[in-house]
């Protein structure tokens, strides 16, 4: 039996026997490598879960949206005193559309009672509480939702000031506790009646979804007329076209509003704003930093284990000087000696690394299957991580065995006979 396969099997059998001569030393060294791989997988899996949880909480909310809301001036300007309330109107929305380039959708809104205001909503003998808001048809492009029944508001609803309403899933369930159909029914809010034309559910999660589904949407023009709001707009959101700069749109829109309401250019608190696009980019950069940090920590821990393998292999080479010298005397080349030591290093590193990888995957899988009521997503492993881990294991094995292999290849028969 002198076939290549037989020689290969014999070489690996000898390799395993060599590592098994000192099981305690080999086991402790392998534990260091396994721990490094386990930590890399664990941190990466939970980091990926955190990122997916945050992404899920965003639902399909427009990540390039910019929101504006009115506040109170803090600086006097052009004869206007400080402490003057700023009130947005329909004309402000039209001015922004005309003067600011790159806007894709703009969504003015109003709400009874202001932000998070609650109203009593009645249908027949049933009643519930929720927010009542005035919207335009483009609201669907900013607020993620799914139409469960009927339809959403359209342009004609607004231009004709139709007395129609689209209710959230929670409102529909409260007004029809036995699962009846609410489409076509009339709901009353503060003495005004509206016909239900649709039911929607939110694509957000947690409290954001609960809040969205506990609301009633009616056309903004109808809202302003029914509740004596004039042409007031409490806040509005807008999105830019794909190539437009969200920062530029925000700056130019703020300038338009400041000019129309005689707000001092430096009076930033007078007009509140939130740029979801900038926040989203910062969030993406944060997660990129987390991924890099996790990879760095895992790699450094794995390399620390690899250095442990290097030290053990150096000790092993020193103990096996007579054996290695005898192999040289019997005709083994430096290359063969070098390959033998590298194989030992690779075997030790790969077995330990695979053990850590499997242990990490097992922990991640158990955590993924556990009930999770937190906004954090379930941890998970992707194929890219496994591929990176495999490459790191091979590199760690090669790095760990390079110096011992060079030392072993340099041993001569004379050194072995001298006990060096």
pLDDT band with cut points at 50, 70 and 90 for residue 419: low
pTM of the model: 0.65
Domain boundary, last residue among 260, 295, 329: 260
Instruction: Give the domain extent around 235.
Output: 87-260
- Same domain for 376 and 309? yes
- Same domain for 256 and 111? yes
- Same domain for 101 and 165? yes
| Pair 25, 279: CB distance under 8 Å | no
List all residues 6 or more positions away from 311 whose beta carbon is below 8 Å from its beta carbon.
none
Question: In a 3-state reduction of DSSP, which class is residue 245?
Answer: coil
pLDDT of residue 161: 95
User: What are the pLDDT digits (tens) for 355-371?
Assistant: 888 888 888 888 878 77
Domain boundary, last residue among 193, 227, 260: 260
Structure tokens belonging to residue 197: 């034309």
Does residue 186 lie in a domain region?
yes
pLDDT band with cut points at 50, 70 and 90 for residue 56: low
- Same domain for 127 and 167? yes
pLDDT band with cut points at 50, 70 and 90 for residue 7: low
Does residue 271 lie in a domain region?
no
- Same domain for 305 and 377? yes
Does residue 274 lie in a domain region?
no
pLDDT of residue 72: 93
- Same domain for 124 and 180? yes
- Same domain for 98 and 212? yes
What are the Cα distances from residue 339, in Å, to 7, 333, 379, 409?
14, 10, 40, 9
pLDDT band with cut points at 50, 70 and 90 for residue 290: confident
What are the Cα distances from residue 68, in Å, to 111, 120, 140?
15, 27, 18
pLDDT of residue 396: 79
- Same domain for 11 and 47? yes
pLDDT of residue 55: 63
What is the C-alpha separation between 154 and 189, in angstroms, rounded?
A: 21
Domain boundary, last residue among 229, 260, 291: 260
* CA nearest to 350, candidates 405, 409, 289, 309: 309
pLDDT band with cut points at 50, 70 and 90 for residue 12: low
Q: Domains in the chain: how many in total?
A: 2
User: What are the pLDDT digits (tens) for 157-187?
Assistant: 999 999 999 999 999 999 987 776 789 999 9
Higher local confidence (pLDDT), 348 or 14: 348
pLDDT of residue 157: 95
pLDDT of residue 13: 63
Does residue 155 lie in a domain region?
yes
- Same domain for 97 and 245? yes
| Pair 106, 230: CB distance under 8 Å | no
- Same domain for 92 and 241? yes
- Same domain for 92 and 128? yes
Residue 378 has what DSSP assignment? P
Q: What is the mean pLDDT of the chain?
A: 83
């Amino acid at each position: 039996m002198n076939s290549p396969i037989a020689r290969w099997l014999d070489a690996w059998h000898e390799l395993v026997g060599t590592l098994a001569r000192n099981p305690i030393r080999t086991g402790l060294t392998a534990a260091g490598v396994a721990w490094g791989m386990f930590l890399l997988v664990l941190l990466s899996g939970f980091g990926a879960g955190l990122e997916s949880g945050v992404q899920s909480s965003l639902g399909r909310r427009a990540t390039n949206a910019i929101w504006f809301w009115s506040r109170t001036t803090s600086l006097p300007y052009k004869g206007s005193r400080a402490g003057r309330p700023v009130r947005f109107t329909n004309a402000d929305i039209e001015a922004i559309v005309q003067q600011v380039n790159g806007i894709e959708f703009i969504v003015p809104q109003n709400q009874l009672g202001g932000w998070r205001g609650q109203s009593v909503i009645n249908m027949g003998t049933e009643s519930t509480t929720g927010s009542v808001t005035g919207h335009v048809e483009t609201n669907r492009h900013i607020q993620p939702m799914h139409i469960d029944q009927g339809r959403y508001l359209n342009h004609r609803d607004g231009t004709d000031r139709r007395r129609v309403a689209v209710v959230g899933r929670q409102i529909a369930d409260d007004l029809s506790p036995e699962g009846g159909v609410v489409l076509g029914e009339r709901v009353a809010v503060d003495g005004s009646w509206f016909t239900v034309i649709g039911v929607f559910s939110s694509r957000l999660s947690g409290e954001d979804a609960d809040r969205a589904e506990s609301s009633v949407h009616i056309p903004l023009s109808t809202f302003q007329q029914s509740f004596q709001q004039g042409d007031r707009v409490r806040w509005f959101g807008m999105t830019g076209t794909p190539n437009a700069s969200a920062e530029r749109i925000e700056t130019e829109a703020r300038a338009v509003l400041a000019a129309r309401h005689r707000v001092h250019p430096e009076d930033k608190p007078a007009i509140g704003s939130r740029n979801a696009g900038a926040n989203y980019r910062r969030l993406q950069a944060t997660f990129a930093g987390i991924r890099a940090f996790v990879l760095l920590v895992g790699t450094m821990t794995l390399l620390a284990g690899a250095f442990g393998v290097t030290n053990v292999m150096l000790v092993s080479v020193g103990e096996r000087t007579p054996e290695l010298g005898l192999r040289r005397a019997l005709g083994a080349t430096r290359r063969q000696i070098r390959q033998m030591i590298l194989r030992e290093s690779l075997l030790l590193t790969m077995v330990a690394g695979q053990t850590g990888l499997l242990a990490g995957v097992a922990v991640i899988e158990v955590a993924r299957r556990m009930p999770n009521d937190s906004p954090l997503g379930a941890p998970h492993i992707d194929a890219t991580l496994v591929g990176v881990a495999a490459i790191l294991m091979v590199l760690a094995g090669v790095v760990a065995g390079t110096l011992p292999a060079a030392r072993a290849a340099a041993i001569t028969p004379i050194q072995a006979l001298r006990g060096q």
